């Protein structure tokens, strides 16, 4: 245990003293100071290097080791989108498309997480942010965006071919900004779906971190896809380095990606979702599941071996299970990932290691997913078999 400092003694003295005993060297030594102090350079410095958490209940129930990358602990916007937002802004700066404190404004179409990460990093870097999002998403996300000083434009859910759709709206707003001589600076459309700075962030960050944290030993990687950046970036990094690795897409009900992986086609007339309008991925789950192949999904598609479809009911039961048994409070897409990870673990059989992603916290989903999922207590007797049954 760390000895308690005498009252009134400032923290840094205690840390320096510890550095002496740990490193056995003078407190003036630069090396001993850097090994003890761990100071991040602004919020950008608090992005990445997230913990890999063993989910004990699911590991016990499957006989596998189920590990989850706690991406909700990224320190700017608290989701994997921190990595993506930082990557898109940094690359745009390198290409001369954005200049800090010049009035330049970042425009993005997002269901929330990417907008929150962009809004925070924009503040830190001296940009304005304008976020277009569908008006059916949990209000926590738009409220938070307003608190971060972003302009928020909530639009009607619409098909990608509709110019009022949230991504198209963001593109249009960026172009309008750039074309208007009365508005200072330029408009930059971040374009997370098609901008490959997205999957590159995971190829350079999330993937190598998982590899290092597992010592290169893992049997399966399981993740959902919204833009596809996470699964593609991680898969492209891990697949050539981990012999025999299975990469599995976790897809919520109503999404077309499951069929794309399983059957090579986005829709099948015999499938329920074939009858839906294209823009409606009919699920309570936010952030994953789409009905088109984006550039970021396409980048890693060849690496994806299989897909697991997860119903809303399964996701809700898993979310409750994780609170009840592990004290882990997560959002809907993370719950889908955990259902699919447990399914893959069951299929592989005991003794394997399965890695998945915890994207965001349940606090972002209180008004929608968790309102429906309910409070823990009462009848929480679901077994893993109940959850995995479709």
Contacting residues toward ligand PMP, per CB under 6 A: 79, 111, 113, 224-230, 286-288, 331, 333, 359-360
Helix extents (H) in the chain: 11-23, 30-36, 42-45, 56-62, 81-94, 113-125, 139-147, 166-179, 197-201, 207-213, 229-238, 257-263, 295-300, 312-326, 332-348, 369-373, 384-388
CB of 216 vs ligand PMP, minimal distance in Å: 23
Phi, psi angle pair for 310, to nearest 5°? -125, 130
Shortest distance, CB of residue 2 to ligand PMP, whole angstroms? 36
Taking the least distance from each CB to ligand PMP, the nearer of 71 and 273 is 71
**Angstrom distance (rounded) from CA 7 to CA 14:** 11
d(CA 274, CA 19): 62
Question: Euclidean distance between the first and final Cα of the chain, in Å?
Answer: 48
Q: Which is nearer to ligand PMP, 61 or 118 (CB)?
A: 118
Shortest approach of ligand PMP to residue 58 CB, angstroms? Answer: 19
Smallest separation (angstroms) from ligand PMP to the CB of 281: 12
Residue 58 or 281 with smaller CB distance to ligand PMP: 281
Nearer to ligand PMP, 203 or 321 (CB): 203
Q: Which residue is nearest to ligand PMP (CB)?
A: 287
With beta carbons less than 8 A apart as the criterion, state whether 120 and 127 touch. no
Nearer to ligand PMP, 187 or 228 (CB): 228
Residue among 274, 254, 373 nearest 314 (CA): 373
Nearer to ligand PMP, 187 or 226 (CB): 226
- Report, in Å, the least distance between residue 381 CB and ligand PMP: 28
Q: Are 247 and 357 in contact, with CB atoms under 8 Å apart?
A: no
Angle at 246 between CA 73 and CA 274, to 5 degrees: 85
**What is the smallest separation between the CB atom of 154 and ligand PMP, expressed in angstroms?**
16
């Amino acid at each position: 245990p760390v000895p308690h400092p005498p009252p009134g003694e400032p923290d840094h003295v205690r840390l320096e003293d510890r550095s002496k005993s740990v490193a056995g060297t003078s407190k003036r030594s630069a090396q001993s100071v850097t090994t003890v102090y761990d100071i991040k350079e602004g919020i950008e410095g608090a992005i990445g290097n997230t913990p890999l958490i063993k989910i004990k209940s699911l590991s016990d129930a499957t006989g596998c080791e189920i590990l989850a990358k706690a991406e909700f602990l990224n320190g700017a916007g608290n989701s994997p989108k921190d990595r993506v937002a930082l990557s898109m802004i940094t690359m745009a700066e390198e290409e001369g498309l954005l200049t800090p404190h010049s009035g330049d404004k970042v425009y993005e179409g997002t269901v929330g997480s990417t907008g929150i990460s962009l809004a925070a990093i924009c503040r830190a870097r001296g940009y304005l942010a304008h976020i277009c999002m569908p008006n059916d998403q949990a209000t926590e996300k738009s409220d938070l965006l307003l608190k971060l000083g972003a302009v928020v434009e909530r639009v009607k859910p619409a098909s990608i071919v509709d110019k009022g759709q949230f991504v198209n709206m963001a593109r249009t707003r960026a172009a309008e900004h750039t074309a208007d001589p009365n508005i200072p600076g330029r408009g930059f459309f971040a374009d997370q779906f098609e901008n490959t700075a997205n999957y590159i962030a995971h190829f350079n960050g999330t993937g190598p971190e998982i590899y290092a944290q597992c010592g290169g030993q893992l049997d399966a990687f399981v993740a959902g896809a919204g833009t596809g950046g996470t699964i593609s970036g991680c898969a492209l990094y891990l697949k050539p380095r981990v012999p025999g690795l299975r990469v599995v897409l976790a897809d919520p009900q109503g999404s077309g990606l499951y069929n794309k992986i399983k059957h090579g086609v986005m829709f099948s007339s015999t499938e329920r979702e074939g009858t839906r309008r294209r823009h409606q991925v009919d699920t309570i789950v936010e952030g994953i599941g789409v009905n088109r192949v984006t550039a970021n999904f396409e980048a890693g598609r060849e690496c994806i071996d299989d897909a697991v479809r997860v119903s809303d009911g399964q996701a809700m039961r898993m979310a409750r299970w994780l609170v009840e048994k592990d004290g882990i409070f997560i959002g809907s897409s993370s719950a889908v990932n955990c259902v699919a990870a447990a399914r893959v673990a069951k299929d592989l059989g005991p003794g394997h290691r399965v890695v998945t992603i915890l994207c965001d916290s349940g606090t972002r989903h209180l008004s929608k997913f968790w309102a429906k999922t309910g409070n823990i207590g009462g009848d929480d007797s679901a077994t893993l078999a109940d959850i995995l049954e479709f």
